[in-house]
């Protein structure tokens, strides 16, 4: 039987100032900073993970904030819009909240659903949609009651340079079901209930440029380590060139670039973010993998200090 991902595991993007990044995703959107670590491939750069109370797969947005980063351009070969799901009946609350932080919002609709669209402080495109499915978050921060909190990803809107090819990967490699078409978008659905609705702009778009305000990659869920190895074989059998399996401390990863230009990752659900610190203390300390622990003083000296803080409403 062919493999089917249950949906998005995480989405990783570029930013510049790390405190502004924390202020937006924790302070304004109310997500929990579940891990403060560094880019294992570039230890002078933070890797910040935000999610629900435990950073469950399907709720995790991660950033490489680097103050000297160039500004990117959203376009083909990227996740164009990152979609968060909020509980039913809360979109009005969110519109008022975003306005109180001077975040301009616009309204859009696709497939009969209403979306509240806005950008973060770097120009990264985001949207909120009400969804009944998916577990509620139990995290409450910054005046957002937990029954209004972001549940996790609703999904994502993909911008491809070759939409037909990207749709082929979604359906035939990742095992998503092609569900509907509406006004220039095609909707795909994965089997899970969080981060499982993927819309693709069906036109072939000009290449974007990586940099602050753009998504670097989107990761899809593998249930466990054994299934992850099967995923690697399946990706290779379809003619793509997956990397070796890489230990990312909180999940194992493989990466491949699909033919529409988007960098895809497949990441394991285990072991998760309580792998190296207590669940109730997630995100407080700078966590380093064992092989970088001896360099902690130099690494810490090179990072700007950050804190999760309640923001004052303007
Ligand atoms: Zn990743």
Decide the pairing of beta strands 8-15 and 215-222.
antiparallel
Vertex 86: Cα angle to 10 and 200 (nearest 5): 55
pLDDT (tens digit, 9 = 90+) per residue, 232-258?
Answer: 999 999 999 999 999 999 999 999 999
pLDDT (tens digit, 9 = 90+) per residue, 258-276?
Answer: 999 999 999 999 999 999 9
Average pLDDT for residues 21-42, to the nearest whole number? 97
How far, in Å, is the centroid of ligand 1 from the Cα of 219?
A: 6
How far, in Å, is the centroid of ligand 1 from the Cα of 123?
A: 20
How far, in Å, is the centroid of ligand 1 from the Cα of 189?
A: 21
- Rounded Cα distance between 158 and 251, Å, is 23
The closest alpha carbon to 256, from 165, 185, 155, belongs to: 165
Torsion of CA 186, 217, 118, 60, to 10 degrees: 100
How far, in Å, is the centroid of ligand 1 from the Cα of 102?
A: 30
CA dist 224 to 19, 165, 193, 202, 266, Å?
34, 27, 18, 32, 11
How far, in Å, is the centroid of ligand 1 from the Cα of 267?
A: 7
Average pLDDT for residues 157-173, to the nearest whole number? 98
What is the percent of the chain where pLDDT is above 70?
Answer: 99
The closest alpha carbon to 280, from 53, 30, 61, belongs to: 53
How far, in Å, is the centroid of ligand 1 from the Cα of 71?
A: 20
Average pLDDT for residues 136-152, to the nearest whole number? 95
How far, in Å, is the centroid of ligand 1 from the Cα of 23?
A: 22
Q: Using pLDDT thresholds of 50, 70 and 90, give the confidence band for residue 28.
A: very high
How far, in Å, is the centroid of ligand 1 from the Cα of 216?
A: 8
Give the phi and the psi of residue 77 in degrees, each rounded to 5: 85, 20
pLDDT at 314: 64
pLDDT (tens digit, 9 = 90+) per residue, 54-97?
Answer: 999 999 999 999 999 999 999 999 999 999 999 999 999 999 99
Number of neighbours of residue 107 by Cβ within 10 angstroms: 11
How far, in Å, is the centroid of ligand 1 from the Cα of 218?
A: 7
How far, in Å, is the centroid of ligand 1 from the Cα of 297?
A: 26
Q: Using pLDDT thresholds of 50, 70 and 90, give the confidence band for residue 313.
A: confident
How far, in Å, is the centroid of ligand 1 from the Cα of 265?
A: 6
CA dist 81 to 159, 225, 266, Å?
8, 29, 19
The closest alpha carbon to 302, from 10, 42, 23, 55, belongs to: 42
How far, in Å, is the centroid of ligand 1 from the Cα of 99?
A: 31
Q: Which residues pair with 268 in a beta bridge?
A: 222
| Residues 8-301, CATH architecture | Roll (3.10)
pLDDT at 1: 57
Query: For the chain, what is the mean pLDDT?
Result: 97
């Amino acid at each position: 039987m062919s493999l089917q991902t249950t949906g998005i595991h995480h989405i990783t993007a570029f930013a510049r100032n790390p405190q502004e990044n924390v202020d937006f995703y924790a302070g304004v959107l109310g997500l929990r900073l579940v891990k403060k670590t560094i880019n294992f491939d570039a230890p002078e750069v933070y890797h910040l993970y935000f999610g629900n109370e435990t950073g469950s797969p399907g709720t995790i947005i991660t950033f490489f904030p680097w103050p000297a980063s160039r500004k990117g351009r959203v376009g083909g070969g990227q996740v164009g819009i990152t979609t968060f799901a909020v509980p039913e009946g809360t979109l009005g609350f969110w519109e008022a909240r975003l306005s109180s932080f001077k975040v301009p919002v616009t309204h859009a609709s696709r497939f009969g659903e209403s979306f509240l669209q806005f950008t973060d402080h770097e120009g990264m495109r985001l949207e909120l949609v009400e969804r009944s499915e998916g577990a509620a978050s139990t995290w409450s921060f910054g005046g957002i009651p937990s029954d209004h909190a972001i549940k996790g990803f609703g999904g994502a809107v993909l911008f491809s340079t070759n939409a037909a090819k990207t749709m082929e990967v979604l359906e035939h490699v990742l095992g998503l079901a092609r569900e509907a078409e509406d006004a220039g978008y095609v909707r795909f659905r994965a089997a899970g209930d969080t981060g499982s609705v993927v819309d693709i702009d069906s036109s072939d778009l000009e290449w974007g440029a990586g940099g602050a305000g753009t998504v670097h990659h989107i990761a899809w869920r593998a249930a466990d380590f054994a299934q992850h190895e099967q995923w690697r074989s399946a990706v290779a059998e379809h003619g793509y060139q997956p990397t070796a399996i890489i230990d990312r401390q909180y999940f194992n990863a493989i990466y491949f670039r699909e033919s529409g230009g988007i960098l895809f990752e497949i990441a394991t659900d285990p072991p998760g973010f309580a792998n190296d610190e207590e669940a109730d203390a997630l995100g407080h300390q700078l966590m380093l993998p064992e092989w970088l622990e001896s360099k902690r003083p130099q690494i810490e000296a090179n990072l700007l200090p950050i804190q999760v803080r309640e923001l004052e409403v303007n």
